[in-house]
């Protein structure tokens, strides 16, 4: 949503997250493309925010329903430290 409005960015993100299979798709190894599109939509929405450092803003206080949380796809082996290892060693 380069150069788009916040409303455009919200629409794109809502459409991506509104897919009924998104929770299962992003965890599959071949779900990398969908995770990338969601991450790009989130970044586009963040760029539209008039609030400097919104994560530290009181506007973020409240009750939230989490629709998506970025995560790495599972590997061949189920390891409890996989995400930490991928984060550190990338």
Q: Is the pLDDT of residue 75 over 60?
A: no
Q: Would you state the pLDDT for residue 71?
A: 57
| Structure tokens belonging to residue 53 | 């450092």
Q: Which CA distances in Å does 86 have to 25, 29, 44, 80? A: 20, 14, 24, 12
* pTM (predicted TM-score): 0.61
Rounded to an integer, what distance in angstroms lies between the CA atom of residue 12 and that of residue 64?
20
Q: Is the pLDDT of residue 45 over 80?
A: yes
Q: Is the pLDDT of residue 73 over 70?
A: no
Please tell me which residue, 42 or 20, carries the higher pLDDT value: 42
How many residues comprise the chain?
90
| Residue 84's pLDDT band (cuts 50, 70, 90) | low
| Residue 80's pLDDT band (cuts 50, 70, 90) | low
């Amino acid at each position: 949503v380069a150069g788009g409005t916040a409303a455009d960015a919200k629409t794109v993100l809502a459409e991506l997250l509104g897919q009924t299979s998104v929770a299962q798709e992003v965890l599959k190894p071949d779900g990398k493309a969908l995770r990338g599109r969601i991450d790009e939509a989130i970044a586009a929405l963040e760029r539209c925010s008039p609030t400097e450092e919104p994560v530290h803003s009181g506007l973020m206080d409240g009750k939230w329903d989490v629709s998506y949380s970025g995560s790495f796809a599972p590997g061949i082996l189920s390891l409890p430290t996989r995400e930490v290892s991928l984060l550190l060693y990338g």
